Amino acid sequence: MDRDFLKQLDGYGLATAQIHYYRLDYPAVLQLYVWQEYDLAPRFPMLQAFLDHWRREIEAALHSVQVAHHRLIGPSEWRAVNGVISLH
């Protein structure tokens, strides 16, 4: 099975973050980076790990982060079915 599909079944949703930042050598230029990954709301551990990496490894200062999140599979859309269905 697809890893992303299994994450969705475990409650992960698609998180999209708009990360506004500026480089230290050009503080007047605000830039945008878009990050997207399956993550768990409201704590967003994958996004937090990415932002921790950004602070440690990237020479750019964060200005702001906006997050959108949507669960693609909900309880009413998927259910396990036991049995065999025959089609003629």
Structure tokens at 4: 């992303």
* Model confidence at 81: pLDDT above 70: no
* Model confidence at 88: pLDDT above 60: no
* Domain presence at residue 81: no
* Domain span at 21: 3-70
Structure tokens at 42: 């409201």
Q: What is the pLDDT of residue 83?
A: 67
At 43-70, the pLDDT tens digits run: 999 999 999 999 999 999 999 999 999 9
* Domain presence at residue 88: no
* Domain presence at residue 79: no
Q: What is the pLDDT of residue 37?
A: 95
* Model confidence at 82: pLDDT above 60: yes
Q: How far apart are CA 70 and CA 16, in angstroms?
A: 9
Q: How far apart are CA 75 and CA 71, in angstroms?
A: 10
Q: What is the pLDDT of residue 80?
A: 67
Tell me how many domains the chain contains. Answer: 1
Q: How far apart are CA 77 and CA 51, in angstroms?
A: 32
* Domain presence at residue 86: no
